[in-house]
Amino acid sequence: MTTEQTFVPASEAALPVPTVIVVADRAFGDRQGLVDQFDSAVLHFCDLSDPATLSAATSGASGVVVTLQPLRAAHIQALAPSVRVIGRAGVGLDTIDLDAARAAGITVVNQPTYGTKEVASHAVALLLTLQRRICGLDTFVREGWSGSPVLAPMKAVDELVVGLVGSGHIGSATAEMLSGLVGQILAFDPANPPLPAGVEAVGELRDILARSDVVSLHLPLTQETAGMVNEAFLGAMRPGALLVNVSRGGLVDEVALAAALDSGHLGGAALDVFATEPLSSTSPLLNAKNTVFSPHCASYSDRSAWRLAHWTLSDTIAWAQSNNIKYGNIVVRGDR
């Protein structure tokens, strides 16, 4: 990070020190627009990937903003003592070492609702694309429309039983969008959040897997959920069932999923997220049967992109200046 030094006249020496926020260099697109809008703070964009350079990069800064750039323990321990808050532009927290932030006294704020409807609509879009075999039918037309397309088996959409594993903000929004479209909506969530009207709560994971034509994942990636979609989970799903994942790739054992697809036990998988991103060219998923992929973009719309930048920066600056936020959620409340 480069800092331009300017001469300060003695008459202005008592002016307040500006709030400095360091933003990961790949976080947002319209840098100049953000700099112009957030004139109550100084925004510096820089590379935050190397812990060895973070102390100098964040010297004098009150906050740090990241999207998917990891902040592991080494990164957080290397932050300058002036850093009081980390703004996570997004929902998931698996890229930030929360224990290290807590130990350092740094507040962590995320934005769990900036793209709720976008992710939910993407889940529905993937579900319908997969279930209606849209990708294969598109290829069939482009390759000459010769013979008969592969259509069966294909249940009517209004006969589908959709099981939501996780029913927080996005799971509930997905249920609302599916209401009136599919035959039945089930939800499994140990936290027992309130459910939209018409959604049936299921108390056991195994039960929802056995009953659902489509299983849609809406869970955070934690120590408890990492790799939970394994051979046993997939084996408990109905033969021919479909899997949709717009949450985190680390929930899924991708080797086991590819095997379940190739064996024919699962009818297909639609994924927006992967354990390692970008997806490796050697991933078994690339050659697995009946798959639809998108590149971790479920949360995107013009509206959500604006919200992501503006809500995160607003909250980070507000916390740095007044220990208050307007839009997001305080995940760790630090004492710096």
Kind and range of the H or E element at 187? Answer: strand 184-188
Paired with 107 in beta bridges are 85
Backbone angles phi and psi of 186, in degrees to 5: -110, 155
- CA torsion 69→73→74→75, rounded to 10°? 40
Q: Is the separation of the CB atoms in 48 and 95 below 8 Å? A: no
Q: Which amino acid is at 232?
A: A
Tokens of 196: 């939209």
Report in angstroms the alpha-carbon separations of 181 from 33, 212, 270. 41, 15, 19
Residue 57's nearest CA partner among 23, 99, 97, 31 is 23
Does residue 333 sit in helix, strand or coil?
coil
CA atoms within 13 A on the CB side of 43: 26
Catalytic residue among 277, 303, 333, 336: 277
Catalytic residue among 75, 248, 254, 307: 248
With beta carbons less than 8 A apart as the criterion, state whether 69 and 48 touch. Answer: yes
Kindly tell me the burial class for residue 227, based on how many C-beta atoms sit within 10 Å of its own C-beta (0-12, 13-18, 19 or more).
middle
Catalytic residue among 122, 133, 296, 307: 296
Q: Which two tokens stand for residue 25?
A: 């260099």
Both structure tokens of 120: 């939910």
In the block, tokens 């299983």 appear at 215
**Could you confirm whether 296 is annotated as catalytic?**
yes
Measured at the CA of 34, the angle between CA 246 and CA 97, to 5 degrees, comes to 45
Question: Would residue 248 show up in a list of annotated catalytic residues for this protein?
Answer: yes
Q: Kindly report the backbone phi and psi dihedral angles of residue 124, in degrees, each rounded to the nearest multiple of 5, phi listed first.
A: -65, -40
- Secondary structure letter of residue 226 according to DSSP: T
So which residues are the catalytic ones?
Answer: 248, 277, 296
